[in-house]
Structure 1
Amino acid sequence: MAKINILYGSVYGGAEALAEEIGRWLTDQQHQTSVIESPQISDVTAPDCLLVITSTTGQGDIPGNLEPFFYTLRDQFPLLNAKPFAVIGMGDSSYGDTFCGAGEKWFELLCELQGKAIRPLLRIDATETLEPADEAMPWLKEWVNEI
């Protein structure tokens, strides 16, 4: 099975809780899974697959625990050589144009690093979904079947 690293950016704990839940499910499916709050470059380059789960803060910004690493990746630019990845963005659609802005930024960066997007960015809207896993799990199951 695959070695999958899950990076998460969370302000109030929602993205962290979702990352933990997904990590447990992937482990139950016999994948080697790590859920990472403060990643290093090797956490992106070493695994077979990468999943980023991030809430959005401010005006489409990346949460503080993941933001410095985002800029490190952008500056060091380690090529992912078609490594499969996916991004789950969490936000509030009442913010308009900045809805899931952090997820969009991550998706774009991983594409620029020449990762292979297996699924489109999943946008989870807090105004419509009380339990993010309800939307994430069916999407995740399709992603896992494609990696």
Structure 2
Amino acid sequence: MTSIAIFVGTESGNAQMVAEALNDELSRLEHDVEIIEDFDDGLEVLDGHEAIIISCSTHGLGELPDNIIPLHDAMKEDTPDLSAVKYGVIALGDQTYSDTFCQAGKDMDAVFTACGAKRVGVRLEVDACTQPLPDEEAIDWVKEWLDLL
């Protein structure tokens, strides 16, 4: 099956919960899955995966979670060639912050696109106000996403 990395950008644990639910579902479907939360090694985490799912929450005033900033900044600065990479984005946010709703996920989406990666399907944007259990919505999304790979 497919080698899929799940990149997690999280502050409060919701994006991690989503990643773990996706890991369980993808593993059940016999995909080779790796959850990655540590991006201190920069661009090295991009190697060796057929597909990447970014599960990223937004905090503060539209900011990236601290743990994923090193990857975002390295990609923005070095612009690696990711033309062979397929990816998807699950962005978590709160619509009461309408100006910055899911901004971190949008920022990660933009940097992957700028590096030539091919987004598969639509970006899933989950509102914490209406969907307190984002993992359920993510499971439905990933089933459709897999069909598009």
- TM-score, length-scaled by structure 1: 0.95
Q: Does 1:12 align with 2:9?
A: no
Q: What does the per-residue CA deviation read over 1:45-78, in whole Å, with 9 as the maximum and x for residues that have no partner?
A: 3200011000001111100011122101111211
The AA in structure 2 aligned to 1:62 is L
Matched length: 147
CA contact (8 A) 1:45 1:80 kept: no
**1:143 corresponding residue in structure 2:** 145
Report the alpha carbon displacement of residue 42 of structure 1 after superposing the two structures with TM.
2.8
**2:110 corresponding residue in structure 1:** 108
Report the alpha carbon displacement of residue 31 of structure 1 after superposing the two structures with TM.
0.7
CA contact (8 A) 1:88 1:121 kept: yes
Report the alpha carbon displacement of residue 16 of structure 1 after superposing the two structures with TM.
0.6
Percent of pairs with identical residues: 30
CA contact (8 A) 2:17 2:135 kept: no
The AA in structure 2 aligned to 1:60 is G
**1:24 corresponding residue in structure 2:** 24
Q: Secondary structure at the match of 2:67?
A: coil
Can you give the 5+ residue segments of structure 1 that lack an aligned partner in the other structure? none
Can you give the 5+ residue segments of structure 2 that lack an aligned partner in the other structure? none
Report the alpha carbon displacement of residue 95 of structure 1 after superposing the two structures with TM.
0.4
